[in-house]
Chains A and B, each alone.
Chain A
């Protein structure tokens, strides 16, 4: 049985026949949209310009939501890209007579490339500095537009070009610009809606909330961020192209306060929702027409409303509406105990049994690893580690002995200062984490790195990122592609199988934020197993689990081992770890003090002294 894949947080109950019902609803909405467009195309110029300005800002808000909502990149550069689009169109069409549709292509490509350049530069610094750098980008462009009077007309601005008329056969449709803008808005809505219903969506959210997780799953997070920011910039540039046909183009329409107003639109409407940005854009851009009072008082009311909206409705209008709907839909029956599914042996394989375990072959090797954080003392000193294929290799040591650091060096979160890391004989110490995942290495994290607002199933799907071809390329059209629908169903099936297999099958429909700690750990494990890796690095998988859950985990790991998966396990609970391990390495103060079988380690006097506390 395949449960319905519903990426919208809050709507969780699996629904049958949801696909057909949804398709019918979609067609109805589309027809209504086109009918409304046809109506606006015939009405008077006043209403038209009201709707068109709102629609252009809607596109701008969607472009911001794409990066702010899905990637957590609060760009204040949207105003800048918007301005580039509008000025380039106006100047090249009016002064040089370029064809406006040719210009559209040029602007989409141009602003996209500029966006990628700005993004690559700003992403060196994260979070707030991204907002600041993009803010400065807009600031500089506004200054240029104001001061290069000869080209831009200074503060007066320029009169935009006129939009070409319909050919005579289509004149009955009304104003062509209305159709153009409304179809563009529809295209942008569709693009974001498609991404939201593609497997790229959980990946984008994991880049936003749990970047190490996304990297470990094989996603080149920096490249994806830059690429998506480029798309967002192109969208904003396209909005500028549309805007230039609406009248005068002047610096005040693109300055930093416009960028912030776009953010207001997104936040009021509801961040990371499909139609929230458009709702917010309608509200903000129509506000001056609705509240028709003294302009200063009007601004004061606007300021007060934006403060109220942001403090009282942090999820925006659409977020509130959605939560109300979810409440009406009713709660979900609580699921059973974590370790309910005890019957593990005999379950289908989740890991690909690569080869029969050959004891001789070394699959992971560290030679002379040196590492230290900043100016502090060395955390790893001349660490050698050799893990044989098919083995479970334990890594123990007191707190601060460098176990997690070593796991990070092996998996690619950290680059060693000296020494070599070999995976299957390939040197990888200079390779990013995402490339190591392609060599069959996966890892879990001590503190579970998951997207809280998605379900465990969706989180596990992130683990399949590099097992499904061209997720990024197909995402903009995903639900329209037969291959996309097929792959998505297969990914969901594999993800829920993996979850059932680790014993978290009852929790697939809940948000991770609502599941207990043990289920988070199991979800991590499932997201690793689902990809069928050869090597798994587990960083304290038993932390915070109950005794029963620990036994269950041991059974899962033993099962994985029978399928030939190599594991490196960092753990403090030796009673859980030692029975599983073929070899155990003991670290103390950044140095390997012993590698041997569990019995040898247990018997060693030095180990007993430094670690086992005897």
Chain B
């Protein structure tokens, strides 16, 4: 019991980070970046490549994050901005971000080949007994990192001018730019941050998945589910809660039903949650539980 909860929380932190990455770019631009999983994959591949050619792991990881950051910004400039400029409410981005994902994924497969490659273990070799359960230090690192990043994002969003700028851009880009916000810069920063979040998720999971160009598909999908379960389309941090729930559900299904159950059980959970609350568990559409309102209406 403790074992699957702990390892569920660990893998859930990864899903939650990717979910948050999706939610951060969604928050500002109202589009879902289908290339988010591929941004994570870029970090993993670049890090693996550099580490195997002899660079220190921290440098390789840094370079990996920088690469996914650049590609994240490119995804905005190439696949998102032209669409939103012509019509903010069109759905062309569904196609263009997917096209971008296809390009990145196949470019990676072309460069590195479709098979998995070694990834530096980082802290994966160290085992920590906790109660009756065992976690690797890497899993613990994932949990801690995810908590710090989620809390950090929320603090920045609520208490800094830049965070409020993001909120303003999210609510009404035209109004935000009318009062002097440079919405393009806000969007670029959001895409860069979301690429970094996805990249960090990649660094945390890399030691157990190894480096594979198709990693982005699976984890992009799970990140998306995390966001939808939680209601990350309204508040990015809800995607983290969704990720944790998803992780525990998946590990719990493996432990309690059978070893394949994590393939389908989370989807059942997702469907049930969306039937009850179409915008996610921690959203205002949930009839059972409404989050405290951030803004108090006067009167």
A132 CB within 8 Å of chain B? yes
Bound Cα distance A580, B228 (Å): 54
Q: A257-B98, A299-B102 are in contact. Are A310 and B92 (CB under 8 A)?
A: yes
Bound Cα distance A128, B253 (Å): 30
For B101, the chain A residues whose CB sits under 8 A away are 303
Chain B contact-residue range equals 35 or more
For A299, the chain B residues whose CB sits under 8 A away are 102-103, 105-106
For A305, the chain B residues whose CB sits under 8 A away are 99
A50 CB within 8 Å of chain B? no
B106 near A296: Cβ-Cβ < 8 Å: yes
Closest to A74 in B: B91
For B79, the chain A residues whose CB sits under 8 A away are 307
B99 near A310: Cβ-Cβ < 8 Å: yes
Q: How many residues of A are counted as interface, with CB atoms below 8 angstroms from the partner's CB atoms?
A: 44
For B109, the chain A residues whose CB sits under 8 A away are 296
B94 near A131: Cβ-Cβ < 8 Å: yes
A302 CB within 8 Å of chain B? yes
B279 near A300: Cβ-Cβ < 8 Å: no
A140 near B263: Cβ-Cβ < 8 Å: no
A297 CB within 8 Å of chain B? yes
Closest to B91 in A: A74
A143 contact from B267, B275, B299, Cβ within 8 A: B267
Determine how close the nearest CB of chain A comes to the CB of B36; give it in whole angstroms: 14
The B interface is mostly helix, strand or loop, or mixed, namely helix
For B89, the chain A residues whose CB sits under 8 A away are 127
B91 near A303: Cβ-Cβ < 8 Å: no
Determine how close the nearest CB of chain A comes to the CB of B221; give it in whole angstroms: 7
Name the segment of B56-64, B80-88, B117-125, B166-174 touching the other chain: B80-88
Interface of chain B residues 267 through 299 with chain A (CB within 8 A): 267-268, 270-271, 274-275, 278-279, 285, 293, 297, 299
B263 near A310: Cβ-Cβ < 8 Å: no
Determine how close the nearest CB of chain B comes to the CB of A72; give it in whole angstroms: 9
B156 CB within 8 Å of chain A? no
Determine how close the nearest CB of chain A comes to the CB of B250; give it in whole angstroms: 12
For B271, the chain A residues whose CB sits under 8 A away are 136, 140
Bound Cα distance A157, B279 (Å): 34
For A292, the chain B residues whose CB sits under 8 A away are none
A377 contact from B98, B233, B285, B299, Cβ within 8 A: B299
Name the segment of A80-88, A260-268, A481-489, A560-568 touching the other chain: A260-268
Determine how close the nearest CB of chain B comes to the CB of A64; give it in whole angstroms: 11
Among B78, B106, B270, the most chain A Cβ lie within 10 Å of the Cβ of B106
B263 near A146: Cβ-Cβ < 8 Å: yes
B106 contact from A68, A121, A136, A300, Cβ within 8 A: A300
A-B contact list, 23 entries, CB within 8 Å? A121-B275, A125-B279, A128-B233, A131-B94, A136-B270, A136-B271, A140-B267, A140-B268, A147-B260, A257-B98, A263-B94, A296-B109, A297-B106, A297-B110, A299-B103, A300-B102, A300-B106, A300-B107, A306-B95, A306-B96, A307-B96, A310-B83, A376-B297
Residue ranges of B at the interface with A (Cβ–Cβ < 8 Å) = 30, 32, 34, 78-79, 82-83, 86-87, 89-92, 94-96, 98-103, 105-107, 109-110, 221, 225, 228, 233, 260, 263-264, 267-268, 270-271, 274-275, 278-279, 285, 293, 297, 299
The 9 closest A-B pairs by CB, nearest first: A303-B102, A303-B103, A306-B99, A299-B106, A296-B110, A303-B99, A307-B99, A311-B82, A377-B299
